[in-house]
Amino acid sequence: TPRIFSGIQPSGGLTLGNYLGALKRFVEKQDEGIETIYCLVDLHAITVWQDPERLRNQTREAAAGFIAAGIDPKRSILFNQSQVPGHAQLAWIFNCVARMGWMGRMTQWKDKTAGKDAEKASLGLFAYPSLMAADILLYHATHVPVGEDQKQHLELTRDIAIKFNHDYKVDFFPVTEPVIEGAATRVMSLRDGSKKMSKSDPSDASRINLTDDADTIAQKFRKARTDAEPLPETVAGLKDRPEARNLVNIYAALADTSAEKVVADFAGQGFGAFKPALADLAVAKLAPIADEMKRLMADPAEIDRILGDGAERANAIAEPILNRTYDIVGMIRSR
């Protein structure tokens, strides 16, 4: 039976990229009636420095974002990673299965250390994909909905499962399938069409935050970088126009339609017409989420209770899998 696992780092406020690439998909999977486990990966977040009080708030805000976007904490399991100790425990075992060379080849590692002294990056940042493999395999998850940027990490998760099964001559960990779907699997920065939209980009104008108000959303789209050409007749005409393509993809994903349909509807129109239409659509879709987040954030104790309840249910699935893993590896389990 399929089991979905996915996570988001509470390393900042959720962005439109997180929403279209991940969160919106998470809700769809839940609503298809598949078993869904969603995690706020706070252990991943601290691979780069996080102020403790902000991390706590960002974790609650991300939980509020999930619920406001349609995750029902009764139907899905929603929790923060550090409350289930098995994630860190299994990650250690995977640190001993995975190879340094595998980690060094990850483009996220290369991107996040580009232009910096990699010697000064945390060991956790280097080993990040090993913890991510543990997140997924701790639940024997079969499918992982993610944005395009996580594809390589999921391939590494498969490599770890295969090597573990091979080294210990077992057929224990499943080989997980990435699920990369939708019109906006890679939302780009509004300031630079070659960079993905990211919650840690120093420029707030580069992203739409789920908590942005209507005026801010409209202003950010108005100022979004574009070329001066009108929209083409077909998507083929968006080739070599990354900024234009990005805005079309965002529109399509928000409207639950295809990029083809969007260019057909706006063919020949300039961005002076397209951007306000996009802003109106974004506000219509995102404002109710922002309002609901605000309401939920007024009761942090209730959010903590939901996360605690989710962690308990997650742990009930994880514990037997972790115990079996320790058995396979040869650890004495006498209590």
160-168, 198-206, 240-248, 262-270 -> range binding ligand AQP (CB under 6 A): 198-206
Q: How far apart are CA 138 and CA 233, in angstroms?
A: 47
Nearer to ligand AQP, 73 or 193 (CB): 193
> Among 4, 8, 134, 290, which residue interacts with ligand AQP (rule: CB under 6 A)?
8
C-alpha of 204 from chain center: 19
Sequence-distant (≥ 6) Cβ neighbours of residue 145 within 8 angstroms: 4, 6, 22, 25, 26, 29, 179, 180, 181
Q: How far is the CB of 332 from ligand AQP (least distance, A)?
A: 35
Q: How far apart are CA 262 and CA 245, in angstroms?
A: 11
The verdict on 9 binding ligand AQP (CB under 6 A) reads yes
Q: How far apart are CA 108 and CA 59, in angstroms?
A: 22
Q: What is the CA radius of gyration of the chain?
A: 21
Residue nearest to ligand AQP (CB): 21
Instruction: Look up 275 and say whether it is catalytic.
Output: no
> Among 187, 283, 289, 290, which residue interacts with ligand AQP (rule: CB under 6 A)?
187
Q: Single out the residue of 291, 78, 255 nearest to residue 183, CA to CA.
A: 255
The verdict on 314 binding ligand AQP (CB under 6 A) reads no
Give the angle 131-133-137 at the CA atoms, nearest 5°. Answer: 120
Instruction: Look up 112 and say whether it is catalytic.
Output: yes
Q: How far is the CB of 169 from ligand AQP (least distance, A)?
A: 33
The verdict on 186 binding ligand AQP (CB under 6 A) reads yes
The answer to whether 197 is annotated as binding is yes
The verdict on 147 binding ligand AQP (CB under 6 A) reads yes
Q: How far apart are CA 285 and CA 291, in angstroms?
A: 11
Instruction: Look up 199 and say whether it is catalytic.
Output: yes
Annotated binding site for L-tryptophan: 135
Given the rule CB under 6 A, which residues bind ligand AQP?
A: 8-9, 11-12, 15, 17-18, 21-22, 146-147, 149-150, 185-187, 196-200
